[in-house]
Structure 1
Amino acid sequence: MPQDTSSIPGASSSTPQSPVEKPSAPPVNILPSPIARIYSIAHPALLLGLGATRFEALVADPTKELLSTLPWLTLVQIFYVIVCLPPAGSTPSTETGTSAPADGKSSPRSSGPGGAARHGKHGKRKQHANSWACIWSRSLPAFLSLSLTFALATPVLTILLVLFGAPLTTHNSETVLCAAHMAVLSATALIYVHGVDRAVWNEVWGIARPADAVWGSALGTGLGAWFGAIPIPLDWDRPWQAFPITILVGAYIGYAVGSLISRTPLVYGKRVKFTSEDLSDTEKKSN
């Protein structure tokens, strides 16, 4: 007679258990400091302004201009991620840098005029140390994300540009430099806030991330470059139609538009979905 193992302690169940799916990373919020709030809005306008002032030089010599402006773009993006975005693995407590007691009570030693003065001096010194520690804690992942951007994102975008019609045997320097600009615009912030989280990057390649300033700017860069390629084959005989001028201009405009629109209440946190389940649900509601 077969023995019932359900009552035996430690007996394993024969029913297979489905793996627990890791929850998706939530949308990324801009840091709450006033400078972060202000600069996160001024940053897209700054990039567009810089691009507009250098447009004539870009048309005259694309390779030279792309190469000379790449370091400036890199510095601007590094400043943006350090000032405005939380690094991967950070928590609100580590970003605010506060060290107030949990019960909200002041220390007995700080009571009295002398204690208040000493507390003020120590508080300023500690706040200054915390600010430097906070800057360092953001600078290191910023430079690591920049390294991964040039080492991984730039080659990937170069291949994608060629697959989508960029010249394979000519204009190689323009293709690589255009990919580098697009990588710094789109990938630096993504790597900075998400690291190498596999679940997040699956959503990135599947265009399934919830909308925020980081994902919106990356998606806008890609869409802007896509639409920017439309004027290239048209027979207008304009000097600015040469590859990759319009692609790069579209990428910059898409970055700015995507960064700002994705932060609005109507778009923030929303996802673009292409699954069959969503389509079937929409058909049922329409019927």
Structure 2
Amino acid sequence: MASPPPSPLTTNSAASAPPDTSNKPAAPPVNILPTQLATTYSYIHPAALLSAFAARFPALVNDPVSEMAQQLPFLALAHVAYVMICLPAAGTDSATTTAAATPTSPSTPTAAATSSASSATTTTTGSTTNGNVILRPGRVGRRRTKDSSSSSSSTASAIRGRVVASLLSLTLTTLLATPVLSILLILFGAPFTTHHAQTVLCAAHMAILSSLALVYVHGVDGNVWKEVWGAKRPGDVVWGGALGTCVGAWLGAVPVPLDWDRPWQAYPITLLTGAYVGFVLGSVLGRSVLFGKRVRFEEGEDVKKVD
């Protein structure tokens, strides 16, 4: 017996069903700004951080508290410059930011079209030697010169916006991320009654490495931060650096309890070393092989997959 034809109501309801957005991230992966300066500095910054840390490692072993306190302002300054140059601020698009930061030159199509139209108008209406043009027979008007103040003001406004956003991100990172990471370090085994300065300074370094760029790019978007705490963000240079910092610090705690009796095993030298190395590796992997991929937790199974 032939089956009855499908009901039009069922067909229409199935066709009008909204697409499944459960696997769609709250915000797309973050790209480095498409400028030559941003691309170049995005490679220089991690290498410079790791080189400076390696150069100051003997001083860190001799006096961890003093060395971490002295290097913290330089780390903050370098990372603020990194986010300003290489990353789009929260609420802006990379293309818009690049266009605002780059003044229009005569070689661009818009400027070329404007220039050709202006020259055609001048040729049609005729000109005089003193800079006046004949707008209509019997009337002489002054030629309008295109002022470049609008482009310079937009560039200054874009730079000012980046500076304000980076300073606000640094403030939120210092006030919020540092205490949270200090508590997490203690929960993961850091000394609770001693080594308070070491814990806070290590957390401050980790906060700048992991959280400053996240706050600068995503602001206070609650959906994005839910993905951050749930480790569900798609891979990019920002999330890769943050995740690499935390995983590197966690792996860096492995040598601390071993009975090797080495001076560099003292807390928190190995944790800080792992955080710096993890930041560099996470940033490189996040912008290359892991870009756009994220860990997917399957329901009902203790299985993690990388999409």
Q: TM-score, normalised by structure 1?
A: 0.83
CA shift digits 1:79-118 (9 cap, x unpaired): 0000000000002224421668979831644666989995
* CA deviation after TM superposition for structure 1 residue 275, in Å: 2.7
Name the SS for the 1:276 alignment partner. Answer: coil
The 1:219–1:117 alpha-carbon spacing in structure 2 relative to 1, beyond 3 Å, is farther
The 1:153–1:93 alpha-carbon spacing in structure 2 relative to 1, beyond 3 Å, is same
The 1:54–1:101 alpha-carbon spacing in structure 2 relative to 1, beyond 3 Å, is same
The 1:192–1:236 alpha-carbon spacing in structure 2 relative to 1, beyond 3 Å, is same
Aligned equivalents of 2:144 and 2:252: distance in 1?
A: 61
CA shift digits 1:48-84 (9 cap, x unpaired): 0110011011000000001000000000000000000
Q: Name 2:266's counterpart in structure 1.
A: 242
* CA deviation after TM superposition for structure 1 residue 201, in Å: 0.4
Q: Name 2:179's counterpart in structure 1.
A: 155
Q: Name 2:294's counterpart in structure 1.
A: 271
* CA deviation after TM superposition for structure 1 residue 133, in Å: 1.7
Name the SS for the 2:238 alignment partner. Answer: helix
CA shift digits 1:119-152 (9 cap, x unpaired): 5xx34x5443332221111111110010100110
Kindly indicate whether residue 108 of structure 2 is the aligned counterpart of residue 106 of structure 1. no
Mean CA deviation greater in 271-280 or 240-249: 271-280
Aligned equivalents of 2:180 and 2:113: distance in 1?
A: 54
The question of whether the paired residues in 2 share the 8 Å contact of 1:220 and 1:258 is answered with yes
Kindly indicate whether residue 204 of structure 2 is the aligned counterpart of residue 180 of structure 1. yes
The question of whether the paired residues in 2 share the 8 Å contact of 1:110 and 1:118 is answered with no
The question of whether the paired residues in 1 share the 8 Å contact of 2:25 and 2:233 is answered with no
The 1:135–1:278 alpha-carbon spacing in structure 2 relative to 1, beyond 3 Å, is farther
Aligned equivalents of 1:244 and 1:158: distance in 2?
A: 12
Unaligned runs of 5+ in 2: 1-20, 124-130, 134-142
Aligned equivalents of 1:74 and 1:153: distance in 2?
A: 14
Q: Name 2:220's counterpart in structure 1.
A: 196
Aligned equivalents of 1:151 and 1:23: distance in 2?
A: 27
The question of whether the paired residues in 1 share the 8 Å contact of 2:25 and 2:234 is answered with no
The question of whether the paired residues in 2 share the 8 Å contact of 1:228 and 1:249 is answered with yes
Aligned equivalents of 2:303 and 2:79: distance in 1?
A: 41
* CA deviation after TM superposition for structure 1 residue 279, in Å: 6.8
Q: Which amino acid aligns with 1:166?
A: A
Q: How does 1:41-120 map to 2 (within 5 A)?
A: 41-91=43-93, 92-97=95-100, 105-106=113-114, 108-109=117-118, 118-119=145-146
Mean CA deviation greater in 103-112 or 212-221: 103-112
* Higher strand content, 1 or 2: 2
The 1:93–1:248 alpha-carbon spacing in structure 2 relative to 1, beyond 3 Å, is same
Aligned equivalents of 2:272 and 2:183: distance in 1?
A: 16
Aligned equivalents of 2:270 and 2:303: distance in 1?
A: 38
* CA deviation after TM superposition for structure 1 residue 23, in Å: 5.6
Aligned equivalents of 1:230 and 1:281: distance in 2?
A: 24
The 1:50–1:110 alpha-carbon spacing in structure 2 relative to 1, beyond 3 Å, is farther
Aligned equivalents of 1:251 and 1:38: distance in 2?
A: 23
CA shift digits 1:204-252 (9 cap, x unpaired): 0000000000000000000000110000000000000000000000000
Q: How does 1:193-232 map to 2 (within 5 A)?
A: 193-232=217-256
Name the SS for the 1:273 alignment partner. Answer: strand
The question of whether the paired residues in 2 share the 8 Å contact of 1:95 and 1:134 is answered with no
Aligned equivalents of 2:303 and 2:266: distance in 1?
A: 44
Max Rg structure: 2
Between the two proteins, the alignment pairs up a number of residues equal to 260
The 1:96–1:64 alpha-carbon spacing in structure 2 relative to 1, beyond 3 Å, is same
Aligned equivalents of 2:119 and 2:161: distance in 1?
A: 30
The structure whose RCO (Cα within 8 Å, separation 6+) is larger is 1
Aligned equivalents of 2:286 and 2:197: distance in 1?
A: 33
The question of whether the paired residues in 1 share the 8 Å contact of 2:173 and 2:207 is answered with yes
